[in-house]
Amino acid sequence: MKALAAEASKLASLPAVWAATAAGVLVPGVVAAITASSALGAIDRGAAVTAPIDTGYQELAFGVVGAIILGVVAVSSEYVTESAESGGGRQITTSLTAVPSRLRFLLAKTAAIAIGAAMLAIIAAGTTMGVVRVVLGEHAPALGAGDVPRLAGVACYWTYTALLAAGITVLTRHGVVPLAVLVANTSVVSVTYLLTRIAPPANYLPDMAGVRMFIRDLAGSTAEIGPLTGGLVMTAWVTALLVIAAIAFTRRDA
């Protein structure tokens, strides 16, 4: 518990985490404002009757970039080498002096990341859905009981993505590679989406399976995966990666 409090305190004192929070709230919020106003234009012209079913959710799929930054910097900040004048040390040596059990350290770290990402997802989902409602007014898709599991799916997807980012960073011990790969794959047409066009098994990659938890109308989908199955597939990926990261972390020099 003390280890978790320490990790949460480290996380909250990192400026990069606040930048990640800003990105995670602003990206989906601003994008939702833009897409909702163009959807409103289409409705006013008579080109569409209602806003698309995924309004708001589609934007939250981009906003996951905030969770990615959170997961990466939470781990990479431990491995940043101080300048020679201040001893050339790394925070990880201090962290492991304070919490010598590596598994306990990693558990506390991932728990802090998961809590942070889930909170970020809840704030971002609230903001984005609020923006959609304000812009679309009466044309906004009604929020009903069916949206509760979808919004829970958003929180789940963000948390898992942050954990994936953290797990990869534990293996690389530097933030640039996981950040580049994961952010590049958040683009409108992602690499994994391209792979699903060639090989249907690619639908079971973590991000493609995970978005099924809340996206209902996936353009050009080549496989039918239910929300629950998608969530379970992503859970399996995250678990596998974290186990690999834990094995590597406990067995190698810090």
- Minimum Å gap between C-beta 175 and other proteins is 5
Q: Rounded to the nearest whole angstrom, what is the least distance from the CB of residue 57 to other proteins in the complex?
A: 16
Task: Verify binding: residue 131, other proteins, rule CB under 8 A.
Answer: no
Q: How far is the CB of 155 from other proteins (least distance, A)?
A: 20
| Six-digit token string for 13 | 């004192």
**What tokens does 234 get?**
């992503």
Q: CA-CA distance, 244 to 64, in Å (whole number)?
A: 23
Amino acid identity, position 52: P
Q: What are phi and psi of 109, to 5 degrees?
A: -60, -50
Instruction: Report if residue 87 touches other proteins, rule: CB under 8 A.
Output: no
Can residue 40 be called a binding residue for other proteins (CB under 8 A)?
no
- Give the Cα separation of 254 and 251 in Å (integer): 9
Q: How far apart are CA 175 and CA 183, in angstroms?
A: 12
The span from the CA of 158 to the CA of 71, in Å, is 10
Q: Which of 35, 128, 161, 203 binds other proteins (CB under 8 A)?
A: 35
Quote the tokens at residue 195.
């792979």
Identity of the residue, 1 or 188, whose beta carbon is nearer to other proteins in the bound complex: 188
Binding mask 169-208 for other proteins (x = CB under 8 A): ------xx--xxx-xx-xxx--x--xx-xx----------
Per CB under 8 A, 235 contacts other proteins: no
Q: Please, which residues bridge with residue 90 across strands?
A: 81
Is position 39 an interface residue for other proteins (rule: CB under 8 A)?
no
Residues 6+ apart with CB under 8 A from 219: none
Quote the DSSP letter at residue 205. Answer: S
Residue among 17 and 163 whose Cβ is closer to other proteins: 17
Which spans of this chain sit near other proteins (rule: CB under 8 A)? Answer: 16, 19, 23, 27, 31, 34-35, 38, 62, 65, 69, 72-73, 76, 81, 83-85, 88, 175-176, 179-181, 183-184, 186-188, 191, 194-195, 197-198, 220
